[in-house]
Chain A
């Protein structure tokens, strides 16, 4: 089996780029671990990253944990589409291409999809589980609202996994030592295209809601998404002890309280 893993090497503290605090996301790590497990003995795992010389440190780590090949595409500041185009020739011919679901700098997350398009491969993105025992490969995909989708994935396919899918194994000492002096294969990358997507810092997506209407309760229901069921109820004016009793009765009727409570 041939698998290509795509890693993005990021200086962690965005405003303060420094290779000392650079790394890959847990999702990228999970992608490599998944690939190593899928490939098993005799399989072939190639790790590719698009970046400057600093990212060699990440590729050395990938070598130390068991990647068969590592390749760096030289380039910086490329958009998602250009990254996909740069990786495609390397990934072509792989059974699976595995990516992290997100990078440390939370980019657009568009590379896997572009890559699938470039390769004409199937895609299953945002995976929370990979069952390697089944043929074809069965994966679990996260959908909105906590729902799940189970997919049987043909080959070739591009998969992106979340960080919780697997924890990257620890590299042995001998492997770490030999990787520290290994030569990293570098291929020339494309020049950044002007028309491509601009990567901006990660910002949680805002939810679009209609303008406020109705009362506060309706608004809260809207935000919490607890259905369009109209609020029902009636306003009564009571003394505190009677009001308390009324509330208890109502709760009992709705079965929030057991009927036999004194």
Chain B
């Protein structure tokens, strides 16, 4: 006999949306959270794209706890002493329905969980799910670290994050390879709001999202700088094997980034308000587990749904969407009285039909390309040098042709035309 219809493990963006959908469908739901409050264990780069919430919480922007609305989006290529920035801003992103926002996860996740509670789900914090309960090969609940902590449920939705011990326990993951993961490390720096407004040329609740290629001390990865209301988020994302294979520690890499001439004036004087880190499932489709088992669904980071595709870095939206679809599929299975993998098949169908797996399928080559040695170590210099020569006035020498500059810089960087063509093709296939 089940204690509850569904137990959702993890009150992050996937868990809370799943719990909301199920509670609204009239099911009894327990939402387990191992932290003292939702979001207390969660860290991310800093930008959330919440449009998927339109269907769940119409006009979510009225009470969503955001820091700033992203109205300026910059992509920056850094070498040791050069910086090339493509900067875009749109006033439209500063008014409903908005596009992206910087937000703190302890705020965002607590808010989303409060919506699940309002819908009727029971939130239980400070409780770690330690494993699965099984009967005849079927998942029938979870064990927790509380005394007499077994919890029986018809369906378990594992939204227990990137390390997902539950999905691994259920046998849904293949071999775990460190090469599929990056670690995100970040400093939150306190600065007066007026100073941030001035340095980043924004007003009110407008904010900036700067994604950086380079600036990671030679470790494959990327860096970022986001504006919060009266803090900045500066940090980097580092590929695990590449990080482990060299000498620089993560905090030293951030320190170097903060001293770069293009970054230093932006972050100067900021006091560290918090230092944080989190592992990211970076490899996309290539590392995803089986999403469904008998009596169990996996959603969010637990299902490796982060999209790390260079120009698009998303995760919370994928988590929220997969949570919604997991909730819908579980409700469907409960209504049909069949919580087996077959009964829960509506989950994967929904993922396949929507952006969740469509984006991942289309961009399946992107994570590998973005973190490849050529993109990481050779292209930034080639691009920056090309642009430098393009804008350099070398009088009395006449202006060289752009193609000539590009070709000589390509050769200087030691990039074979065939490799460049292959990367361009992969890039076009992914982003085109």
> Do chains A and B stick together as partners?
yes
User: Chain B contacts of A173 at CB under 8 A?
Assistant: 124, 127, 144, 146-151
Cα distance A235–B351 when bound, in Å?
A: 88
Cα distance A21–B125 when bound, in Å?
A: 13
Asked if A176 and B127 make an inter-chain contact with CB atoms under 8 angstroms apart, the answer reads yes
Q: Which of A21, A23, A170, A181 contacts B146 (CB 8 A)?
A: A170
User: Chain A contacts of B106 at CB under 8 A?
Assistant: 20
Cα distance A23–B36 when bound, in Å?
A: 10
Cα distance A20–B30 when bound, in Å?
A: 19
Asked if B148 and A20 make an inter-chain contact with CB atoms under 8 angstroms apart, the answer reads no
What 1/0 flags go to B148-168 for Cβ under 8 Å of A?
111100000000000000000
Q: Which residue of B lies closest to A171 (CB)?
A: B146
Q: Identify which of B106, B127, B145, B147 gathers the most chain A CB atoms within 10 Å of its CB.
A: B147
User: Chain A contacts of B149 at CB under 8 A?
Assistant: 172-173
User: Chain B contacts of A170 at CB under 8 A?
Assistant: 145-147
Chain B interface SS verdict (over half) = loop
Q: Does A68 contact B (CB under 8 A)?
A: no
Q: Does B99 contact A (CB under 8 A)?
A: no
Nearest chain B CB to A90 CB, angstrom units: 27
Asked if A176 and B110 make an inter-chain contact with CB atoms under 8 angstroms apart, the answer reads no
Cα distance A252–B282 when bound, in Å?
A: 68
User: Chain B contacts of A23 at CB under 8 A?
Assistant: 36
Cα distance A180–B36 when bound, in Å?
A: 14
Q: Does B42 contact A (CB under 8 A)?
A: no
Q: Which B40-71 residues have a C-beta within 8 angstroms of A?
A: 40
Q: Does B37 contact A (CB under 8 A)?
A: yes
Number of chain A residues close to chain B: CB under 8 A? 12
Q: Does B122 contact A (CB under 8 A)?
A: yes
Q: Which residue of A lies closest to B110 (CB)?
A: A20
What 1/0 flags go to B106-120 for Cβ under 8 Å of A?
100010000000000
Asked if B147 and A20 make an inter-chain contact with CB atoms under 8 angstroms apart, the answer reads no
Nearest chain B CB to A62 CB, angstrom units: 14
Nearest chain A CB to B354 CB, angstrom units: 32
Q: Which A67-110 residues have a C-beta within 8 angstroms of B?
A: none
Q: Identify which of A20, A174, A180 gathers the most chain B CB atoms within 10 Å of its CB.
A: A20
Q: Does A198 contact B (CB under 8 A)?
A: no
Cα distance A170–B151 when bound, in Å?
A: 17
Q: Does A177 contact B (CB under 8 A)?
A: yes
What 1/0 flags go to B278-305 for Cβ under 8 Å of A?
0000000000000000000000000000
Cα distance A170–B147 when bound, in Å?
A: 7
Q: Which of B37, B122, B145, B151 contacts A20 (CB 8 A)?
A: B37
Cα distance A117–B380 when bound, in Å?
A: 75
Asked if B36 and A20 make an inter-chain contact with CB atoms under 8 angstroms apart, the answer reads yes
Cα distance A210–B420 when bound, in Å?
A: 80
- On whether A180 and B146 interact (CB within 8 A), knowing A20-B106, A20-B110, the answer reads no
What 1/0 flags go to A171-187 for Cβ under 8 Å of B?
11110110011000000
Q: Which of B37, B110, B148 contacts A174 (CB 8 A)?
A: B148
Nearest chain B CB to A149 CB, angstrom units: 36
Nearest chain A CB to B169 CB, angstrom units: 19
Q: Which B11-42 residues have a C-beta within 8 angstroms of A?
A: 30, 36-37, 40
- On whether A180 and B122 interact (CB within 8 A), knowing A20-B36, A20-B37, the answer reads yes
Nearest chain A CB to B390 CB, angstrom units: 49
User: Chain A contacts of B110 at CB under 8 A?
Assistant: 20
Cα distance A23–B291 when bound, in Å?
A: 38
Q: Which of B36, B123, B147 contacts A172 (CB 8 A)?
A: B147
Cα distance A20–B109 when bound, in Å?
A: 12
Q: Identify which of B106, B124, B127, B146 gathers the most chain A CB atoms within 10 Å of its CB.
A: B146
User: Chain B contacts of A180 at CB under 8 A?
Assistant: 122-124
Cα distance A180–B32 when bound, in Å?
A: 13
Q: Which residue of A lies closest to B147 (CB)?
A: A172
Nearest chain A CB to B160 CB, angstrom units: 17
User: Chain B contacts of A171 at CB under 8 A?
Assistant: 146-147
Q: Which residue of B lies closest to A19 (CB)?
A: B37
User: Chain B contacts of A21 at CB under 8 A?
Assistant: 36-37
Nearest chain B CB to A64 CB, angstrom units: 9
Q: Which of B36, B37, B146, B150 contacts A176 (CB 8 A)?
A: B146
Cα distance A21–B122 when bound, in Å?
A: 20
Nearest chain B CB to A133 CB, angstrom units: 25
User: Chain B contacts of A177 at CB under 8 A?
Assistant: 30, 122, 124
Asked if A176 and B148 make an inter-chain contact with CB atoms under 8 angstroms apart, the answer reads no
Q: Identify which of A21, A173, A177 gathers the most chain B CB atoms within 10 Å of its CB.
A: A173
Cα distance A173–B151 when bound, in Å?
A: 8
What 1/0 flags go to A19-30 for Cβ under 8 Å of B?
011010000000
Cα distance A72–B79 when bound, in Å?
A: 61
Nearest chain A CB to B1 CB, angstrom units: 14
Cα distance A160–B124 when bound, in Å?
A: 31
User: Chain A contacts of B127 at CB under 8 A?
Assistant: 173, 176
Q: Which residue of A lies closest to B148 (CB)?
A: A172
Cα distance A171–B144 when bound, in Å?
A: 12
Cα distance A170–B126 when bound, in Å?
A: 10
Cα distance A177–B242 when bound, in Å?
A: 45
The 3 A-B residue pairs whose C-beta atoms are closest, nearest first, are A20-B37, A173-B146, A172-B147
User: Given A172-B146, A177-B124, list of 14 further CB < 8 A pairs?
Assistant: A20-B36, A20-B37, A23-B36, A171-B146, A173-B127, A173-B144, A173-B146, A173-B150, A174-B148, A176-B127, A177-B30, A180-B122, A180-B124, A181-B122
Residues of B within 8 A of A (CB): 30, 36-37, 40, 106, 110, 122-124, 127, 144-151
28 A-B contacts (beta carbon < 8 Å): A20-B37, A20-B106, A20-B110, A21-B36, A21-B37, A23-B36, A170-B145, A170-B147, A171-B146, A171-B147, A172-B147, A172-B148, A173-B124, A173-B127, A173-B144, A173-B146, A173-B147, A173-B148, A173-B149, A173-B150, A173-B151, A176-B124, A177-B30, A177-B122, A180-B122, A180-B123, A180-B124, A181-B122
